[in-house]
Structure 1
Amino acid sequence: MTTALTFAPVGDCALSAVFGDTISPDINKRIRHVVTALSEETASGIVEMVPTYASLLVVYDPLIVSYEELCHHIRCIAADAKSGETSDTVRIVEIPTVYGGEYGMDIENVCNHTGLSESEVVAMHSGTDYLVYMLGFIPGFTYLGGMNQALATPRLSTPRTLIPAGSVGIAGAQTGIYPSESPGGWQIIGRTPLTLYDGSKEQPTLLSAGDYVRYVPITEEEYQRVAALGSDYTVTVHEVKESELNGNR
């Protein structure tokens, strides 16, 4: 059953389109369908779009399109998005990750909370392809869906003032990657040597909403090798049909 689409004005030149109230791949797919359709239009009056888990913020030029016209247009586009379709091609981006030790200083906390061994945590965490629902908090920070509930661990009681770039963390039932140095309260279980955000590039983020993340466990030596290569390292990307995705691998 599709949740009713609702709208609300945000100031005099933006609106919020709310597609539901849960974290759902089907809801997020409808949002991505709308974003893609609006992005392909010309002279639409759209200035910027910010997708979230279950809503879409659309900034527009009221001299080109009115609030009412845009709401109607988005509703029509959303109605065409069939959540059951699985013919779309998606990207699975491999994220090499070294787990534990100085790179994953909180993995013992996760083990103690979940009752799992470190090897079980690594195998379970790297055994799922995660949907990138949205980017936020800081530029390029990934909010990923699909983590095994057995790994769910509360945030740190006292957030750290500085978390290294590339840190892979768990917070409750979510997992994600810190693209740059930042304060934060997620349980850090590993780190990737990849650069997830580079503001000097035309496409500053490695990942986009709608991509899938596949964590690939690596050794500390491999981490150092990839880090030394920097931008010369070729990120592994698989393009597959959504119908071929099956969550846990």
Structure 2
Amino acid sequence: MNELLTGWWQYEFMRNAFLAVVLIMPLFTMLGTMVVSNGMAFFSDALGHSSLTGVGVGIILGMSEYRPTMIAFAIVFALMMNRIRNSRLTSTDTVIGVFSSCGVALGLVLLSRGGSFSRYQSLLIGDILSITKGEIVVLAITLVVVFALWLICFNSFNAISINPSLAKTKGIPVRLLDDLLVVIIAVVVMMAIHWVGLLLINAMLILPAAAARQVARSTRSYLILTLIFGLFSGLLGLWFSFLNSFAATGPMIVLIAGILFFATFTLRDSKQ
């Protein structure tokens, strides 16, 4: 029994993955609550699809490291999508659907040049077990920076998510902060997608927050429960992956987060 609980700790890549989960889930907590509250559930999904284009641009430019182009393209992509979404000329889901489709199509065209797409199929599901110590340091720095911005801007972000018009009358720079939020989401998604995968990044971002929203009674409890659900699903998924001969960790985490959502939904429904 003790071996089942602690045996995974003897592997360095499992220890690295453990630290990665502990760092990624607080990031997803901060951003996931805003994504769910603002009705942007598929925003991160569209960003994930744009990562293929970012990789393709990096290849065309002859870059051996494609993450800078992924992040740069995602920021431009997110700002364009956000501006069109806020123009109110068409519905949000239509804008996100169009950008998502175009992002993945352009990425596939660029990656298929020279038959290089197969080399980047790992981006689809990711591999958190492959994370290195250097990448963990980068994640830790990202968490500190995002947390600092969160402390400064949280009240304004929250006011905008509740009533943008009222927030504007109170002198809050709505457009600037809205753009800042999508830029932060773009950077975090592009950094995490290598380990989480573009097919699962959206689920990991919104499922803990969506589950917490079913039972939370205040903003404070919403944030705390999202963090608890995120860490619980992340660490339990990592452990189950170890027990199942290192089965795909990302899908395991998403399955547990999905079970939590249905459990909280059922609990809320039974009380009504």
The one of the two structures with greater contact order (alpha-carbon pairs below 8 A, sep at least 6) is: 2
Judging by fraction of residues, say which structure has more strand: 1
Q: Given the two structures, how large is their TM-score scaled by the length of structure 1? A: 0.26
TM (normalized to structure 2)?
Answer: 0.25
Identify the structure with the greater helix proportion.
2
